[in-house]
Structure 1
Amino acid sequence: MCSLLLPFGRHGTCTGLSLLLVALATTTSVARAAAPVAPVASVRQTKPEHHHVPSPRKHTRTTTAARTETVAVTAQRRDFSYQEAQRTPDASTRVTADRLIERGIVTVRGLEYIAPNLTIQSINGTASTNFYLRGAGFNDFTQNNMGPVLTYFDDVPFVYSGMTDGMMFDMAGATVTPGPVGTKHGMSDTGGEVMLRTADPTDTWHFGAKQDIASYARSRSEAYVSGPLAKGLTFRLAGQTQHGGGWQTNPLNGDHLGDADLWALRGKLRYQPDSHTTITLSGHFTQDDSQVVTGIPIDRLIGTTALPKLAWRQAEWGIRPQFAKLIGREAGLKPSEHNQYWGADLNMSHDFGPATLTSISAFNTERRGEYTDQDALASSEADTYRDIDSNVFTQELRLSSSHPENRLQWTVGAMYERSRMHQRFFFDYTDYVPARGYMMSTTFGLNQESTSEFGNVSYRLPHNITIWAGLLHELDDRSISNLQSVIYGGTTKNFHGESTAANQFAGQVGISWQMMQNAMLYYKMSKGFKPGGFTANNTQVQGQLDPFKPETVLTYEVGFKSDPIPNRLRINGAAFYNDYHNQQILGTVLIPNYGPDSEITNAPKSESWGFEGTIEARPFERLYLTQNFGWQRGTFQNFPTVNRAATNAYYAAHGVWKAIDSNFAGVDSGQPKLTLNGSAEWRQPLSRRYSLDFGPDWIYRGSQAMTPGGTGFYRLPPYFLMGAHVTFRPAASHWQATIYAQNIFNRHYSESGGQATTVYMYIPGPPRFIGGRISCDF
């Protein structure tokens, strides 16, 4: 008996045995009884856990009668996923594992292709990322602060985004939630959260593999095995490797750049001594030695040397032997990662009857060595090497009501988080003359600790009206110490430590009305809080270590969810307004006789507003459409800072550094105003035994100002990309084959941009990739 891995649980397909969904499968006998009507897809939506993810413990012990009922529900829900979430008052985007595979999303950054008002950008082409959700976000190029949007893997928060590198494989689904969070679980934040779920162990034996080969010798491989070890004890082991794919070439010597070299493992051990208790021990390890995409020079801000004229897939880079020796790496090193991540977590839950107690303990660590060529030139005007050693411990304890059918629902809990970090930056400014002309390093340590208590209660009134309220209190304490800045062959500067603490409340109140069986309205008001921190970048004066302040936001949101034509048309939407105080944002400071330097600072007052929505439709029997759309605007109401563009222009004209100060009151905050993404698919049976699914997908992102008030090349141009796929599947086998294209029109576009010293550069997006993917599982 066979079945294919294809998105959405298409009729005639036994997707329950697919590579990424099999962790949530029922027993083999259930699969036989339900074929060919995607039994696992139905079970995944029948018994949701936290964040609407199913509990394998519950559905793997279903009776025969219940199994028959589940199959009937599947037949009704195969077209639109997460039906139960239509009664949840939020603007979250929920994505199945199959959709992640179909869109080729193998990193956290790819989530912007499937969620509205979401921008995720690489930091200088590296594996580290910056999030912007509904305009909330900032460019943390020093990577030592908690972002406004937090990423969770299996309920564990990753406060430093780089720690998620290599973890998006063997997935069970993803949820993107905009707006302030923290009253039901986890940590407080102002922008929202990305909740990622990995596949769980199964009660019966399953194993499988997937191979993806594409242009530029790109190869991605995955495999897993899952099954029982003893009574009540199950396990799952999964791994992935990534190689090749480098598409940049150096016209000076013909070298190419961008090849992946990554492997990762994840293991889960689950023990269920009885029907009320589940204990899951998980561990993961990633080794990433991938090359990174380097920038393309756009404009020379300082100096008169002409910039090279490069084709879109060309780039220049270079490392001096002296710098390679200083950082302890080999001569001729290409821009690349040399990173190692590992961690473990213990998730324990027990259902006491009226309430369920959950404990989540986690420890994660990173060892990073990262070389980037931040002048985008063969010369050494801003070559950078970053050495990071950090670890994070988190402990969450929460008690929640156990019966979702009760009118009263409640959650209380507490969260503790502690991080330790040591960073060392090396810079090669040898060719940046006469201003610098030297190599230097900056070293510092960072200690951070926070505790929070949270609670949330909701009550369902008559006439299908539900009211709810939540409250969170957080105490955060962090300090930076032992900061030393060394100019080799010159001076050494030592700076005294700084510390900052915050003691804040956040919360939420709301009301929802299920006015019809397939239509709901809601309104909520939320206050979000995010602690302050430090910018430790090329530190030359003590004032650069002044901490930036905590950020708070008051968010108003109104939304609706509807299925006006069940299984044919779904329309969800929300509108929002954000009132920020001390919004954390990347500004500029001018260091005398040194030049402008980036610094995270606060905009005392700012605001943003907009709307977003999702339309899913099946206008014809075999045509399936999905369209996400987001529109937002934001302005600074009070933001005094150094105008980087004007300051650079003054230096170019007079050869003297002079700070040109501006207040950007009334200026647009610069986030993309319009974001669109979607897909169309035609599902065509070829016979009773075979079928073919094919269609395009697309994404549009509006222009983005990379500096406050940015115009010209300081504003990243908009872009529109299209992809497509064709998938063949027999109805009765455990495999599928797909041919796909990404950026099918080979559009030239830029994913991010910035300035380190003398040159403004863009980080280019990848060209057209054409590939094939085959997977099998048993």
Structure 2
Amino acid sequence: MSRRHVWLLAWGLAILAVPVHVQAATGNPHHGRPRHQRPAAPARPKVEAITVSAQRRDFSYPEAQNVPDADTRLTAARLIERGVVSLRGLERVAPNLTIQSINGTASTNFYLRGVGFNDFTQNNMPTVLSYFDDVPFAFSTMTDGMMFDMAGAEVTPGPVGTRHGQSDTGGEVRLRTNDPTDTWHYGARQDIASYARSRSEAYVSGPLAKGLSFRLAGQTQQGGGWQRDPLNGDHLGDANLWALRGKLKWTPDSHTTLMISGHFTQDDNEVVNGIPVHQLVGTSGLPVEGWQQTEWSMRDAFAHLIGRKTGLKPSEHDQFWGADVHFSHDFGLVTFSSISAFETEREGEYTDQDGTALAQADTYRTIDANAFTQEVRLQSSHPHDRFQWTVGAFYQRSRMQQRFFFDYTDYVPQRGYMMATHFGMDQESTSEFGNISYRFPHGVTLWAGLLHEIDDRSISGLQSVIFGGSQQDFHGESTAAAQYAGQAGVSWQAAQHALVYFKISKGFKPGGFTANNTQVQAQLDPFRPETVLTYELGLKSDPFPNRLRLNAAAFYNDYHNQQIVGTVLIPNYGPLSEITNAPKSESWGFEATLDIHPFAHLFVTQNLGWQRGNFQNFPTVNRAATNAYYAQHGVWKAIDDNFAGVDNGQPKLTLNGNAEWRQPLGPHYGLDVGPDWLYRDSQAITPGGTGFYRLPPYFLLGAHMTFHPASSHWSATVYATNLLNRRYAESGGMATTTYFYIPGAPRFVGGRISCDF
């Protein structure tokens, strides 16, 4: 048995040894007694009402304490309080989760428990799937602008797919939006902050006829640009986004529900531009700038080529829209549900990837994509029966056309031209899944699930054109996979407030293609599917109900053909990123969430994530050594290496949390005040990366103060993010001539007013 397995077993025994107080005191000394036996309320009932309201907002989802999983469940109130208005904000409220912008754009990469990969073209299945209202998004950019009028969110780490949706190796993020209501409700929220940033939301919901109700919600985002060009004083980063969502719900009887939803987003946001930190090629030197300064360029000839206006700043020009139909009917012993969805993406994105005023890596890409998904499920109708089961099937079909334009005019003598790459991708997959569980006496439950998936995808029509020069046409490639995924586990309700579980999961993720800046046919060789075998041991406990909650899990991942961004060297051209497979790798770690309510008014939440991992076999080009050889000899030569035993580069330690003091102000009002914090350890940009090849660690501190009435119909908040105004890098990457960091936002101070009736 390896040291890691010994460590994992020891950690599991340690958490089992945590003392559990089954009859610990609660915040109410009469908790558990029938209402008619309780003594009369004290003479100030209105103050009591405020106290109950405050307690209701924490230690949420008590029913989930009996569910054997490591999910992080987040209420809408927590998302608003922490300012989570996009997918990237979720890393501030969940353990072991990193969500990074790709080159400062709306596209994102996920890393959950260190599992994920950098897919700039976004034409492959993500390692962590995003769901909105149970609809999976084949391309994560499609979720842009949709995080408003939220009902809550869940983050599930590890392999998934035996109960719904698709198989995956890293996990999933499920987001829920508010449904129509049978009574009239309406509300609005206005958030104004530094750098003229404005965020506005509004909704209205109510009945249209008997059994028929609707909900309409929308948001706008404006301003907030905090970067400046030191050469001309122009500022960069202003938001310009609006989105609408509508839902129509029909319940003809108590057993049947039909929901039709539609949404639209227009995103013309300016992006966050990179700051060059190292020069790979050239002798002109890097610009010396402050952390909030960056340079960019848009040559008139390039603007004319891509059909955009001259002087265009790095920005998005995106449209996303979609519709879905949810249907369910309870037949008594079994419930049938169906989810049909169609999503589209129309993207035009300009980025200046070298971070200088020279045209060395100016990039514009267009995406025209759509995806259709269909899921059907049959499951047991009575959730309290000992025997539970689910069977279902899932189908997905996606189509994508991408075109990249590059301006290398100032990248001389190596290139000195403008070029474009175009490709199309078709994908289709089907899967069948099932899951069963049985609850035995003495609190023991066994469960097992199985999924079979077939995935076919192909890339075609790939063409690279050097304007005024040569043209290359590449033949298409295809890849197919048929794999099983599954899960088996056991849980034990050891005490009323303590659950222990162990599960083994196998995850599967199909292969795909690297299609960015293709120069030789070999770059289109598909990478292989990824599989992982995950062992997880977990604890859910409320040692002191309503005072202390501790949830924790330890995991070990055994990977085969883990999909990793490696390096390919094109002779007389330079190094390019390429998604490849590490034949063997592993990772392990733990995570925990601690909720504390030690005494009246104080509430604390702390998330902790720690993970390690290494490649056991990963032959690829050593980018750092290859770049060093070029710097010394002026010739590109691939320095091959095997990164066996090298750390996987993911942040080892992540921390986030918040504390809040909830103070009643007389019988009718309350004041909530407290700090929040985030720490993320260093992260390698390239395998084995050190120095500038690695993002530095950082710590961020925020704070808020909210004034509200006991009714909670409205609230007024002042807040600050990055209170200490720390300089930090949110993500990073490589262009043709430079390595760059995408800087994180500076201090923002703002105010928010919201009302709900």
TM range, smaller chain? over 0.9
Amino acid at match of 2:253: D
State whether structure 2 residue 650 is matched by structure 1 residue 671.
yes
Q: Deviations over 1:435-469 (max 9, x none)?
A: 11110000000000000000000000111100000
2:47–2:668 contact (8 Å) kept in structure 1: no
SS at match of 1:463: helix
Q: For 1:730 and 1:503, locate their aligned partners in 2 and report how far apart those are by CA, in whole Å.
A: 57
Tell me which residue corresponds to 2:736. Answer: 757
State whether structure 2 residue 379 is matched by structure 1 residue 395.
no
State whether structure 2 residue 703 is matched by structure 1 residue 718.
no
Q: Deviations over 1:337-371 (max 9, x none)?
A: 00000000000000011111000000000000000
Structure-to-structure mapping, 1:526-537, within 5 angstroms: 526-537=505-516
State whether structure 2 residue 117 is matched by structure 1 residue 138.
yes
Q: For 2:630 and 2:601, locate their aligned partners in 1 and report how far apart those are by CA, in whole Å.
A: 62
**Number of residue pairs matched by the alignment:** 714
Tell me which residue corresponds to 2:605. Answer: 626
Tell me which residue corresponds to 2:403. Answer: 424
Within the candidate set 346, 350, 353, 2:325 is matched to 346
2:49–2:710 contact (8 Å) kept in structure 1: no
Tell me which residue corresponds to 1:238. Answer: 217
Deviation of 1:143 (Å): 1.1
SS at match of 2:549: strand
Tell me which residue corresponds to 2:661. Answer: 682
Deviation of 1:283 (Å): 0.3
Q: For 1:727 and 1:706, locate their aligned partners in 2 and report how far apart those are by CA, in whole Å.
A: 39
Q: For 1:230 and 1:91, locate their aligned partners in 2 and report how far apart those are by CA, in whole Å.
A: 41
1:180–1:527 contact (8 Å) kept in structure 2: yes
State whether structure 2 residue 362 is matched by structure 1 residue 386.
no
Amino acid at match of 2:357: A
Deviation of 1:516 (Å): 0.5
Deviation of 1:79 (Å): 3.0
Tell me which residue corresponds to 2:638. Answer: 659
1:77–1:83 contact (8 Å) kept in structure 2: no
2:615–2:644 contact (8 Å) kept in structure 1: yes
Deviation of 1:305 (Å): 1.1
Tell me which residue corresponds to 1:515. Answer: 494
SS at match of 1:648: helix
Deviation of 1:732 (Å): 4.1
Deviation of 1:755 (Å): 0.4
Structure-to-structure mapping, 1:16-165, within 5 angstroms: 78-165=57-144
Tell me which residue corresponds to 2:265. Answer: 286
Within the candidate set 482, 485, 488, 1:503 is matched to 482
Q: For 2:135 and 2:712, locate their aligned partners in 1 and report how far apart those are by CA, in whole Å.
A: 36
Identity %: 76
User: Structure 1 pair 420/617, CA: closer, same or farther in 2 (3 Å)?
Assistant: same
User: Structure 1 pair 35/92, CA: closer, same or farther in 2 (3 Å)?
Assistant: farther
Q: Deviations over 1:167-226 (max 9, x none)?
A: 000000000000000000000000000000000100000111110000000000000000
Structure-to-structure mapping, 1:307-706, within 5 angstroms: 307-706=286-685
Q: Deviations over 1:594-653 (max 9, x none)?
A: 110100000000000000000000111110000000000010000000111111111111
TM-score by length of 2: 0.93
Amino acid at match of 1:553: V
Q: Deviations over 1:22-45 (max 9, x none)?
A: xxxxxxxxxxxx999999xxxxxx
Amino acid at match of 2:104: G
Amino acid at match of 1:182: G
SS at match of 2:225: coil
1:77–1:567 contact (8 Å) kept in structure 2: no
User: Structure 1 pair 618/272, CA: closer, same or farther in 2 (3 Å)?
Assistant: same
Deviation of 1:303 (Å): 1.3
Deviation of 1:730 (Å): 2.1
Within the candidate set 226, 241, 259, 1:247 is matched to 226
User: Structure 1 pair 581/341, CA: closer, same or farther in 2 (3 Å)?
Assistant: same
Deviation of 1:734 (Å): 2.3
Q: For 1:587 and 1:142, locate their aligned partners in 2 and report how far apart those are by CA, in whole Å.
A: 15
Structure-to-structure mapping, 1:170-189, within 5 angstroms: 170-189=149-168
Q: For 1:243 and 1:679, locate their aligned partners in 2 and report how far apart those are by CA, in whole Å.
A: 27
SS at match of 1:436: coil
Q: For 1:414 and 1:459, locate their aligned partners in 2 and report how far apart those are by CA, in whole Å.
A: 22
TM-score by length of 1: 0.91
Deviation of 1:164 (Å): 0.3
Amino acid at match of 2:369: S
Q: For 1:163 and 1:37, locate their aligned partners in 2 and report how far apart those are by CA, in whole Å.
A: 45
Q: For 2:368 and 2:54, locate their aligned partners in 1 and report how far apart those are by CA, in whole Å.
A: 51
Q: For 2:125 and 2:423, locate their aligned partners in 1 and report how far apart those are by CA, in whole Å.
A: 17
Q: For 2:115 and 2:580, locate their aligned partners in 1 and report how far apart those are by CA, in whole Å.
A: 14
SS at match of 1:306: coil
User: Structure 1 pair 126/733, CA: closer, same or farther in 2 (3 Å)?
Assistant: closer
Amino acid at match of 1:106: V
2:47–2:667 contact (8 Å) kept in structure 1: no
Amino acid at match of 2:717: T
Q: Which runs of 5+ in 1 are unaligned?
A: 1-10, 12-33, 40-70
Q: For 1:646 and 1:183, locate their aligned partners in 2 and report how far apart those are by CA, in whole Å.
A: 43
Structure-to-structure mapping, 1:742-753, within 5 angstroms: 742-753=721-732
2:542–2:548 contact (8 Å) kept in structure 1: yes
Deviation of 1:731 (Å): 2.2
1:302–1:648 contact (8 Å) kept in structure 2: no
Q: Deviations over 1:370-423 (max 9, x none)?
A: 000000001010000010000000000000111111000000000000000000
Amino acid at match of 1:455: G
Deviation of 1:578 (Å): 0.1
Q: For 1:36 and 1:271, locate their aligned partners in 2 and report how far apart those are by CA, in whole Å.
A: 40
User: Structure 1 pair 93/706, CA: closer, same or farther in 2 (3 Å)?
Assistant: same
Q: Which runs of 5+ in 2 are unaligned?
A: 1-26, 28-44
1:384–1:425 contact (8 Å) kept in structure 2: yes
Tell me which residue corresponds to 2:283. Answer: 304
User: Structure 1 pair 271/710, CA: closer, same or farther in 2 (3 Å)?
Assistant: same
1:37–1:75 contact (8 Å) kept in structure 2: no
2:512–2:527 contact (8 Å) kept in structure 1: yes
1:303–1:652 contact (8 Å) kept in structure 2: no
Deviation of 1:756 (Å): 1.6
User: Structure 1 pair 135/37, CA: closer, same or farther in 2 (3 Å)?
Assistant: farther
SS at match of 1:620: coil
Amino acid at match of 2:396: E
User: Structure 1 pair 710/281, CA: closer, same or farther in 2 (3 Å)?
Assistant: same
Deviation of 1:152 (Å): 0.1
User: Structure 1 pair 354/38, CA: closer, same or farther in 2 (3 Å)?
Assistant: farther
2:158–2:170 contact (8 Å) kept in structure 1: yes
SS at match of 1:186: coil
1:421–1:447 contact (8 Å) kept in structure 2: yes
Q: For 1:75 and 1:717, locate their aligned partners in 2 and report how far apart those are by CA, in whole Å.
A: 38
Tell me which residue corresponds to 1:212. Answer: 191
SS at match of 2:481: strand
2:54–2:662 contact (8 Å) kept in structure 1: no
Q: For 1:274 and 1:633, locate their aligned partners in 2 and report how far apart those are by CA, in whole Å.
A: 52
Amino acid at match of 1:220: R
Q: For 1:136 and 1:300, locate their aligned partners in 2 and report how far apart those are by CA, in whole Å.
A: 30
User: Structure 1 pair 76/649, CA: closer, same or farther in 2 (3 Å)?
Assistant: closer
Q: For 1:38 and 1:684, locate their aligned partners in 2 and report how far apart those are by CA, in whole Å.
A: 13
